[in-house]
Amino acid sequence: MADLEITDLHVRTEEREILRGVNLEISRGEIHALMGPNGSGKSTLANTLLGHPSYEITEGSITFKGEDITEAEPHERAKAGLFLAFQYPVSIPGVSVANFLRMAINAKREEPIQVKEFRNQLQHAIELLDVDRAFTSRHLNDGFSGGEKKRAEILQMAMLAPDIAILDETDSGLDIDALRTVAEGVQRLHDEQGLGALIITHYQRILHYVKPQFVHILMDGRIVLEGGVELVERLEREGYDQIRQEVGASAAAAVATGNSSPPTHV
């Protein structure tokens, strides 16, 4: 049984259905990439997994570590070991990165973390991710560049040590150096902590630095194609239009023969 199981997930918002039967399984220690063109439903899936109230699940289920969390509150999902790295992280003026991290850790614990333990964990995370120690004294995301905001989220992942992290277009707006720093951070957390990750993106460039074991293509609210890293290389050569044409032809053939059309594996 996978740690995170998404089964026949249908989601709508403002009277419009966005996800139309998503099936996906992710386990700790696995790196998955979810790719697709704009408007395919990628961010809707990310927000739904973490319980955003604007997204209504009309059918299907989400199970995490054997527990049905379809109706769970966002903080309950986070406490259980899910983490969402936002596409547009919010700023919190007046709260330092270090204080925010300590509050986040305490929210998952029965007893507050001791100062010495926290400092040791923070120092280890700083060294692991090659972050400047002064960075943790700044107010969270206040005046941060795009790369600094994403670096702060990777630091949160290192401190919170989730089982599965959902990275919603973490590569958005990053220059090459910032992209490499963030991607290498994810890879290091995978290697050291056994982090499982779902990297949601419509670009291939982040996947040059962190290599997924599984790649899924989402179009029109459904996963239509699955494979390994070779699927990323195919997208670079052919783009989404070629895949869309193949999927359309496959669906038409399935209708003609009276069969359903599950995702194609390559």
Structural domain boundaries in the chain: 4-244
Q: What average pLDDT does range 247-253 have in this prediction? A: 67
> Which one of 58-67, 120-129, 205-214, 233-242 scores highest in mean pLDDT?
58-67
Which pLDDT does position 106 carry in this prediction? Answer: 94
Using DSSP's 3-state secondary structure scheme, residue 31 falls into: strand
How far, rounded to the nearest angstrom, does the alpha carbon of residue 21 sit from its chain's CA centroid? Answer: 19
CATH number of 4-244: 3.40.50.300
How far, rounded to the nearest angstrom, does the alpha carbon of residue 255 sit from its chain's CA centroid? Answer: 33
Residue 239 tokens read as 């783009």
More confident of the two residues 175 and 157: 157
What b-and-e string marks burial along 184-223, b requiring 16 or more CB atoms within 10 Å of the CB? Answer: ebbbbbbeebebbbbbbbbeeebbebbebebbbbbbebbb
Residue pair 232/212 in contact by the 8 Å Cβ criterion? yes
Which pLDDT does position 51 carry in this prediction? Answer: 93
Report residue 75: phi and psi, to 5°.
Answer: -70, -30
Long-range contacts of 141-144 (CB under 8 A, 24+ apart): 141/89, 141/90, 141/91, 141/92, 142/91, 142/92, 142/93, 143/91, 144/91
pLDDT at residue 126 is higher than 70: yes
